[in-house]
Amino acid sequence: MKDLRTTFLDHVKKGLNGKTLPLRVIFWDGHEYAFDEPTLVTMQLKSAKVITQLLTGSALDVLGEGYVEGTIGIEGRYQDILAVAEGLSDAFPAKKPKTGILHKALHSKAKDKEAIHYHYDVSNDFYKLWLDRNMVYSCGYFKTGKEDIDVAQEQKLDHICRKLHLQSGEKLLDIGCGWGGLLTWAAKHYDIQGVGVTLSEEQFAFAKERIEKEGLADRVEIRLQDYRDIPERDYFDKVSSVGMFEHVGRAKLPEYFEVINRVLKEGGWVMNHGITASQQDDEAGHHSGSDFMDKYVFPDGEIPHLWRLVRDMAGQNLEVIDVENLRPHYAQTLIHWVDRLEAHKDEATAMVGDKRYRIWAIYMAGCAYAFWRNWSALHQVLAIKQTGEELTPRPWERRYQYENDQYRLAEPDWGDL
């Protein structure tokens, strides 16, 4: 019977099918093997149990968990490590869950609050180490790709405000408002009246203090509130939701958009910005790496495909008028975040511990790789609440989003007909 070392090597060689793998493996007993030279990544397997896990589970999940828990040591650049991990995942493909056993998060209010607390209430000081000066925890917007993260995030905030065509005095609701970056920007630059809701107590405290310090308390309200508990009806002119709907759950998307429909005025606009699956959903919602993300990063997070998002918006009389894929923008944003986190490694580790640091570093680097490889996408979807038959006000074209020219209202010209 083959020992586990030989089994591992045979699996990898067969899975590579002639492709190169710049990996050196150091086994628990000191034996070493290099698949190709030069080696860019060194992986230390500290226990034979890791190989058993690779043979029965998902390689990306096993490798991620091993790195976090310390049973696997890895040296090399993140981009090389992740390319090697992809090669190993070909050799140890993810096993499909048993029929009928599907991951379905309940997404009750209590469960969602618990999940949000785990991810966002790490510490405001921790996030300050590597986020931009406006504390925006979602993908930036690059015009050249060379911008620093501060500029990219301010460009994103302004892009959202322009896309929503915010006007002075309008009422803007930001669902999942984070640390208040978008509402602060919109109030300062577009003179809106804003309401933001979050389930994170850390974000709530920070955003409240920020609004007070910047003299915006008479124009912006921050609430510690579940989006399902927003009481307003037919009240807001515009709604933004940025990096939040990934926490909603696919089964809850109709309810989520029903809430948006309820709070919006007729003809009001909504811009939903969030991560989407690059391939049409398998209803199990189980992909290589998803167990790691669910356990260590985003408990109960679910990523729908764009088709589901558009369908469920339409089901709540939200007429889609614009869709933009920002996939490369998020990859570049994550690269900035990882670089900044690495630069503050000692401070971050002192704040949150070595294990939590490794979770955030590998999760963000892995997500950057996933966006470049088209394993994930990021869509901004703009829609208008249209319940009647008459055409609700909207532009003829998208130019208003990018140029300081007059907004061109779309109105039919019947001429002599």
Tell me the catalytic residues. 367
Taking Cα atoms as reference points, which of 332, 409, 345 lies closest to residue 378?
A: 332
Tokens at residue 327, please? 């996939």
Q: How far apart are CA 125 and CA 417, in angstroms?
A: 64
Strands (E), 46-147: 72-75
Q: How far apart are CA 136 and CA 143, in angstroms?
A: 18
Q: Report the alpha-carbon distance of residue 140 to residue 328 in Å, rounded.
A: 10
Helix (H, G, I), strand (E, B) or coil at 397: coil
Spatial separation of the C-alpha atoms in residues 192 and 172, rounded to whole Å: 7
Identify the H or E element spanning 114: helix 109-120
**CA 244 to CA 248: how far, in whole Å?**
7
CA distance 323 to 234: 24
Q: Which helix (H) or strand (E) is 364 found in, with range?
A: helix 354-372
Nearest-angstrom CA–CA distance, 275 and 380: 9
How many Å apart are CA 163 and CA 380, to the nearest integer? Answer: 10
Q: List the one residue out of 119, 159, 156, 155 whose CA is nearest residue 138.
A: 156
What distance, in Å, lies between the first and last C-alpha atoms of the chain?
Answer: 85
Read off the amino acid at residue 72.
Answer: I
